[in-house]
Structure 1
Amino acid sequence: MQEEIAVLAAITGHQPRDEALFIEALTHGSHGAKGGSKGVNKGGGSLAGKDYQRLEFLGDRVLGLAIATELYRRFPRESEGALSSRLNALVTGSLCAEIARELGLPPLVRLGKQARDDGGRDSDNILGDVLEALIGALYIDAGIDVAVAFVIRCWGDRIGAVQVAPKHPKSALMEWAAANKRKPPEYRVVWRDGPDHAPRYTVEASIDLIGSASAEGTSKQEAERAAAAALLTKLENGV
């Protein structure tokens, strides 16, 4: 366990005081079901029996606060709607997973054998959750300032890279339908595949009498967003 703690200290720039908390942030629910390594922290306490879900819940809120505060500071003339669009684009599960890979978190994730065999260490869902759990652990162990500084460092230039706030594809598609006097877009899941810890969804977006497009994602929301973007592209290109 000390090797993982040393790596986390290097990644976060913070030496964990409560080591069990950070091991918890790395632990998927499948870990330790049968014959998993339990481990003991410096204080002699067991590291078994907990997974990252509660820390992910907390870290998700800390991440949102950190990014929202930075956007508020950087873009003083933008409306609430524009800031919300930027925020939504910066806290997606796929972006969190991308940053988790950049930080080198995949080898540290603690999974059960089946989840490992199913490619859990490359799952956007798992990696995004682990990063948010790590943010939650930092918040508890080191305080809000350290957690926010970590978020701003990890997200880096992404926060200000888009000079025009991106519009959510589902909102843009809804506006297109209204402007062209069509019924609102509809979304339906046409396929779900993969294990519970790494699902893949295929969603079809359609506008009645106009057309449809399908796309995949690691969550229903992500697939809906991608399908809306695909349909918008078809409509704009006259396909």
Structure 2
Amino acid sequence: MLEERLGYRFKNRAFMEQALTHSSRSGQANNERIEFLGDRVLNLVMAESLFRKFPDENEGSLAKRHSALVQGRMLAIIGAILDLSHFVNLSESERLSGGAENENIISDAMEALLGAIFLDGGLEPAREVILRLWGDNITTLTEAHQDPKTELQEWVQARGLPLPEYEIVDRSGPDHAPTFAVEVRVRDYDPVVAEGPSRRQAEKTAARQMLIQLKVRP
């Protein structure tokens, strides 16, 4: 169940149901307002956590860390780990068009869930859920990491695992503007696929997303 994955049990499940209801479901209370609230809750919790964990960093460094932690891609990855695509309430047409796998829809639902937890239980339960789901990313994720492939290699070597494996799984688009899809595999963990305008960029993006996943699931 989703509540078990979140580590939070709702007293009023209507908050959770609304948080998972996309605006395509006409006639039902959707998650747009709760998403607005969840965005503010997430920003506050992350800002406070970074302020306390990095007392010697200046505003600019804290802002970069904060931006990386609350960006839509990060929310979508957390949502994918929670398997939100199986829980979001979409219209039939939206689901048929692939809405359940849409990163924006998943990240919005993730923010809405945080808002729902805040409404249901207050700031402290919301803080506990956020800090647990984001895990080690809070202290390690920063835009200063320019070479995620090297960081991923160091991560697996420190744990006695084989080196990551990268494979091109798709190439699309015209020759002058191709899009590469690369899969990165780390033993004992789910593979990650990411795209980029070159093989190198796709590998770096895949490595960065894998690092986020690994730090959520140590």
Q: Give the shorter-chain TM-score range.
A: 0.5 to 0.7
Partner of 2:19: 25
Residue 141 (structure 1) aligned with residue 120 (structure 2):
yes
> What residue in structure 2 maps to residue 63 of structure 1?
42
Counterpart-to-counterpart distance in 2, 1:214 and 1:90: 29
Distance 1:63 1:124 in 2: 18
Where in structure 1 are there 5+ consecutive unaligned residues?
1-6, 34-47, 170-212, 216-225, 231-239
- 1:167 to partner: Cα distance: 5.5
Aligned residue for 1:17, secondary structure, equals coil
Q: What SS class does the counterpart of residue 89 from structure 1 fall into? A: helix
Provide the rounded CA distance (Å) in 1 between the counterparts of 2:36 and 2:145. Answer: 24
Q: Which amino acid aligns with 1:10?
A: E
Q: Which residue is 1:204 aligned to?
A: none
The C-alpha deviation readout for 1:47-93, integer Å capped at 9, x for no partner, is x6200000000000000111111111111100011100100011111
Q: Within 1, Cα distance between the matches of 2:119 and 2:52?
A: 25
Give the CA deviation at 1:99.
0.4
Aligned equivalent of 1:113 = 92
Q: How is 1:217-236 mapped onto 2 (pairs within 5 angstroms)?
A: none
Displacement, 1:107? 0.2
Q: Does 1:51 align with 2:30?
A: yes
Structure 1 distance, partners of 2:178, 2:121, is: 44
Structure 2 residues not aligned, in runs of 5+: 147-176, 180-195, 202-218
Aligned residue in 2 for 1:152: 131
Structure 2 Cα separation of the partners of residues 12 and 101 of structure 1: 12
CA RMSD of aligned residues (A): 2.5
Q: Is the 8 A contact 1:93 1:128 kept in 2?
A: yes
- Distance between the aligned counterparts of 2:23 and 2:53, measured in 1? 38
Percent identical pairs in the alignment equals 39
Q: Which amino acid aligns with 2:7?
A: G
**Cα shift at 1:18:** 1.4
Deviation at 1:105, TM superposition (A): 1.3
Match of 1:96 among 42, 53, 75: 75
Contact 1:85 1:168 (C-alpha < 8 Å) held by counterparts: no
Normalising by the residue count of structure 1, what TM-score does the alignment of the two structures yield? 0.59
The offset of 1:214, in angstroms, is 11
CA distance in 2, matches of 1:159, 1:20: 30
> Aligned residue pairs: how many?
154
1:121-171 deviation digits (Å, cap 9, x = unpaired): 111100000010000000010110000110000000111114xx42599xx
Q: Distance in 1 between matches of 2:145 and 2:34?
A: 28
Q: Is the 8 A contact 2:18 2:29 kept in 1?
A: yes
TM, length-normalised to structure 2: 0.65
Aligned to 1:10: 4
Partner of 2:206: none
Q: Which structure is richer in relative contact order (CA contacts within 8 A, separation 6 or more)?
A: 2
Is residue 2:108 matched to residue 1:129? yes
| Counterpart residue type for residue 58 of structure 1 | L
Post-superposition CA distance 1:7-65 (Å, at most 9, x none) = 2321222221211111000000112x3xxxxxxxxxxxxxx620000000000000011
